[in-house]
Amino acid sequence: MRPGNPGGEYPALRRAIRDVPDFPRPGIVFKDVTPLLADPELFRVAVRAMSESFAGAGITHVVAIESRGFLFGGPIALALGAGLVPVRKPGKLPYMTRRTEYDLEYGTDALEIHGDAFGSPARVLVVDDVIATGGTAEATARLVQQLGGAVAGYSFLIELRFLNGRQRLGAAPAAAVLGY
């Protein structure tokens, strides 16, 4: 598993990610991946890097976290020959859902998944663009487990290492292409 990117293995990807200070609120430096997404070769490299650690791992479903996780989850699911399952904010999915709440540094939030998203046994890869504190990925793992699935791993484009989010993810392998 790629534990981060201490060696600068993907300098072109790193250069394509734009820092936006004070977004969404003062003191936050937002990692904007849209310039990377706009370049088809860099997008291809990012998807390949995010999926390669899990090739041959028997992944049956990629669970992509709203919203930027959707952008990476679809191509990763195709690369791994897996189904794609969205995890969304409450009220966005049209069918029966399972829900979990989780704590944020400034309150609480919730996520939902369709109750019939996959059968058991399912080997699930959780995908998002960034892991920060790990709360969203941890909540997503709880939803996967509620449906009888096993979290086989986590894949992120960016890990904000100073927030130690990986510590919340348990024993399943976690890979990040770039670390900050």
State residue 63 phi and psi, 5-degree precision: -100, 115
| Burial of residue 27 (number of CB atoms within 10 Å: 0-12, 13-18, 19+) | exposed
Task: Check if the beta carbon of residue 76 is closer than 8 Å to that of residue 47.
Answer: yes
Whose tokens are 């936050």? That residue is 28
H helices within the chain, ranges in order? 11-16, 34-38, 40-52, 68-80, 135-146
* Cα 124 from Cα 121, distance rounded (Å): 10
How many beta carbons lie within 10 A of that of residue 80, not counting itself? Answer: 21
The residues that are catalytic are: 68, 105
